[in-house]
Structure 1
Amino acid sequence: MADLLKNIILLKHRLSDSQTAEFGIKGNIENLNPSDISVIKKIWEFIDEFYNIVDNETIYIEDINNYISANVRIEIKTGNVPGYYNTSKDFLSGNKIKCVSTKFYIEELNYIEGSGTIIPPIIQAYKLNIEIIALLSEIADYKKEQGNKLELFFYKSEKGVSLNIDYNEDDLQNLKAVKILDLKAQLLDSIDSIERKQLFVNELISDLDKNGNTYANLLKDWEAIIGNYEKSFKLYLSGFSFDKIKTSSLEYFQKLTDRLYDSINKVSSYIFGIPIGYILLINNFDFKGEQILKNVALLILGILFFLIMWFVFFKNIEESISAIEADIKKFREKIDSKIELKEITSELLHLEQTSIKNQKNKLLLVKILSGLIMVVTILVYLMIFFCTNGKLNHTDEGYFHFVKIY
């Protein structure tokens, strides 16, 4: 399609006495040359009339080479060419809610999109207008699109307005939407985009209610709407930003505290669980030494239990404490300069210097305790082993009774 448009424009520039026809343009080509013929062949299906001026004889494509250097009259049906528009009004009418063609030509302005030439003011305004329509479509609560028509719906509380996207060339003349890209980033991509969007929609609805809910009025008041939105957002920040920061900080502080005490509970449970587990293990030893395989299996089980505790559970708790410690440090650095959050900063210091230190000491205690119990388990096994091999009097029932109890 781009080549078709390019060839028609080339041929149009060759026309002398150019006139607007019912479905396109017509004019004369003096001294028809091979380049003209090459272009005409490429767009032949869009040629409506083509004849020799001298004898008024129609020229057919198979005979066209016979008319080199002739003066001819030609009519081109531009109305059927995608992207070719006679006037800017025609262009706006065919591209009301979005630009259908990435490559287009407007005869009235002699402007080719993407040619590198200076963009006419009306096309600059049109492009800003399309950005506005795209943004409004993104933030609308509901939209209804049919062909080249678009209706947008906006609501706030119990009030709502509908907006038909309809405008003409005059409506774009004084449009200055220089902040449209920045506004788009604020309403769609920023961290507080939900709050910003709501404030903007409120100002939009208020303006449409006051001045009439037409798209032409919106374009006329666009800068005023942006100004009111910016003022509203500043008022919103002055009233709510501190409370929001403080609330978020308290919530995050609570999460850190919960994570820390969760790891404390795990360590506390290990303090009671590990000795009980090993006591049950030792109590199941065969102190008479008659079930050697059973004792070996229990010893292996005890060692495996010790390894799992040491290299899995204790390791996970250490990593959890280190992660909490790093998060506390980052969080403290972030809010350290805010005097209003001094209380939270103090609590974070307490967590960092006292609670985490105590937690590390408890974990160390559990590790030492588990190591000692593992040593006791191995000693009990060795004592049973040596007793049953005659190195101690294994018939001494009092001794075995004493070992089994303790």
Structure 2
Amino acid sequence: MADLIENIILLKQRLTNLQTVDFGIKGSIKSLKSTDINIIKNVWNFIDEIFKAESNETIYIDNIHDFLSFQVEIIVKIGDVPGYYKTFNNFLSSNKIKCLSKKFYIEELNYREDVDTIIPSIVNAYKLNLQIILLLSKIADYKKEQGNKLELFFYKSEKGVSLDVAYSENDLYNLRAAKIVDLKTQLLDSIDSSERKQLFLNELISDLDKNGSTYANLLKDWETIIANYEKSFKLYLSGFSFDKIKTSSLEYFQKLSDRLYDSINKVSSYIFGIPIGYILLINNFDFKGEQTLKNISLVTLGILFFLIMWFVFFKNIAEAIGAIEGDIRKFKEKIENRSELKEITTELSNLEDKSIKSQKNKLFLVKVLSAIILIVTILIFLIITIRTDRQSTDADKPKLNFVKIQ
């Protein structure tokens, strides 16, 4: 299509004595050249008629070379060329709701889309207008689209308005919508998009209800609607942001506390569980020393249990406490300048200075306790072993018999 438009433009530039006819335009080429013939062949389907100027002899594609250097008359059906528009109004009538022609040329503006770097202001306004239409279509409660017509419906409480998207070229001249991209992000893609959307719809419906629900009025009042929306959002923030921030901060603080006390519960269980485990282990020793293999197995299990506790469970708890400390520091940095959250900042400091410190002390206590109990277990094993060895040595010594002399 781009090549077609380019060839139509080139052909039109070659024509003189231009006239507007029912089928498009009519003009003359005083001296037909080979380059003209190539262009004419490329757009032949849109040539309504071509003939020799002197004799009105019709020229066909097969014999066009016979008319080199002669003056010819051409009627071009420009209105049938896809993407070629004589005026901006012609373009607008076919692309009012969305731009159906991705590659187009507007003769009145001498502008080709995606080719010319300087975009006329009216085309810029048209593109901004399309973004407004797209945004309104996305936030509308209901839309009815048929061909090149679009009707949007918006509702607020029991009140609703319908908006027929109809406008003219004149309605675009004063359009200013520089914030449309940012507004689209706020209403559709931000975290608080639902609140922002509702506030914007309130202002939109109020404006349409007050000034008339026509799209032309909406374009004229667009900047006012945006300004009112921004004011409403600031009022909304001043009234509700404190509660929202405080609520979310309290929820996060509670999560940190839960994580910390979960680790505390684990350490507490170890304080009671480790001694009990070792007591059961020691209780199964053969204190008589008759089952040496059993004692060796038990002391080996005790050492393995100690290693698992130190290098798995205790390490995991220490890492969990470290992660909580890091999260508390990051959280404090986020809210330390918020006076309304001073209470939470104080609680975080207490959590950091007291609870975590106490938790670290408990973890250290459990480590020391497990080490002491392991040492006691090993000592008991050694005592049993040494005593057994001594008993065996005493049993192996020869006994001396003494005879009483009368």
TM-score, normalization by structure 2: 0.87
1:187-336 aligned at under 5 Å gives the runs 187-287=187-287, 294-336=294-336
- 1:398 corresponds in structure 2 to none
- Is residue 250–residue 344 contact of structure 1 (8 Å, CA) maintained in 2? yes
- Is residue 211–residue 217 contact of structure 2 (8 Å, CA) maintained in 1? yes
Are 1:175 and 2:175 matched, yes or no? yes
Decide whether aligned partners of structure 1 residues 259 and 392 sit closer, same or farther in structure 2, where only a CA change above 3 A counts.
Answer: farther
Are 1:148 and 2:151 matched, yes or no? no
Query: 1:269-297: CA deviations, max 9, x gaps?
Result: 11112222232333344555566555554
- 1:86 corresponds in structure 2 to 86
3-state SS, counterpart of residue 27 of structure 1: strand
- Is residue 25–residue 76 contact of structure 1 (8 Å, CA) maintained in 2? yes
Query: 1:1-42: CA deviations, max 9, x gaps?
Result: 211211111111211122334343332222111221121222
- 2:359 corresponds in structure 1 to 359
Q: Residue type of the partner of 2:185?
A: A
3-state SS, counterpart of residue 18 of structure 2: strand
Report the more deviating stretch, 45-54 or 176-185. 176-185
Residue-pair matches, total: 395
3-state SS, counterpart of residue 163 of structure 1: strand
Decide whether aligned partners of structure 1 residues 347 and 117 sit closer, same or farther in structure 2, where only a CA change above 3 A counts.
Answer: closer
Consecutive unaligned residues of structure 1, counting only runs of 5 or more, are 396-406
Decide whether aligned partners of structure 1 residues 45 and 301 sit closer, same or farther in structure 2, where only a CA change above 3 A counts.
Answer: farther
Decide whether aligned partners of structure 1 residues 378 and 347 sit closer, same or farther in structure 2, where only a CA change above 3 A counts.
Answer: same
- 2:9 corresponds in structure 1 to 9
3-state SS, counterpart of residue 337 of structure 1: coil
TM-score, normalization by structure 1: 0.87
- Is residue 387–residue 393 contact of structure 1 (8 Å, CA) maintained in 2? no
3-state SS, counterpart of residue 244 of structure 2: helix
- Is residue 387–residue 394 contact of structure 1 (8 Å, CA) maintained in 2? no
Decide whether aligned partners of structure 1 residues 128 and 383 sit closer, same or farther in structure 2, where only a CA change above 3 A counts.
Answer: same
How many Å separate the matches in 1 of 2:79 and 2:91?
12
Query: 1:324-369: CA deviations, max 9, x gaps?
Result: 1122222222222233322222222211111111111011111111
How many Å separate the matches in 1 of 2:18 and 2:169?
25
Q: Note the C-alpha offset of 1:115.
A: 3.4
Consecutive unaligned residues of structure 2, counting only runs of 5 or more, are 396-406
- 1:162 corresponds in structure 2 to 162
- Is residue 50–residue 72 contact of structure 1 (8 Å, CA) maintained in 2? yes
How many Å separate the matches in 2 of 1:160 and 1:364?
68
- Is residue 154–residue 161 contact of structure 2 (8 Å, CA) maintained in 1? yes
Report the more deviating stretch, 167-176 or 294-303. 294-303
1:110-121 aligned at under 5 Å gives the runs 110-116=110-116, 118-121=118-121
Decide whether aligned partners of structure 1 residues 293 and 69 sit closer, same or farther in structure 2, where only a CA change above 3 A counts.
Answer: farther
Instruction: Calculate percent identity across the aligned residue pairs.
Output: 72
Q: Note the C-alpha offset of 1:382.
A: 4.0
Query: 1:78-112: CA deviations, max 9, x gaps?
Result: 33322111222221122122222232111233222
- 2:402 corresponds in structure 1 to none
Decide whether aligned partners of structure 1 residues 28 and 285 sit closer, same or farther in structure 2, where only a CA change above 3 A counts.
Answer: farther
The structure that has the greater radius of gyration is: 2
How many Å separate the matches in 1 of 2:120 and 2:318?
67
- Is residue 23–residue 48 contact of structure 2 (8 Å, CA) maintained in 1? no
How many Å separate the matches in 1 of 2:209 and 2:215?
12
Q: Note the C-alpha offset of 1:374.
A: 2.6
How many Å separate the matches in 2 of 1:394 and 1:262?
56
How many Å separate the matches in 2 of 1:309 and 1:145?
69
- Is residue 23–residue 75 contact of structure 2 (8 Å, CA) maintained in 1? no
- 1:61 corresponds in structure 2 to 61
- Is residue 128–residue 180 contact of structure 1 (8 Å, CA) maintained in 2? yes
Decide whether aligned partners of structure 1 residues 55 and 326 sit closer, same or farther in structure 2, where only a CA change above 3 A counts.
Answer: same
Cα RMSD over matched residues?
A: 2.6
Q: Note the C-alpha offset of 1:394.
A: 12
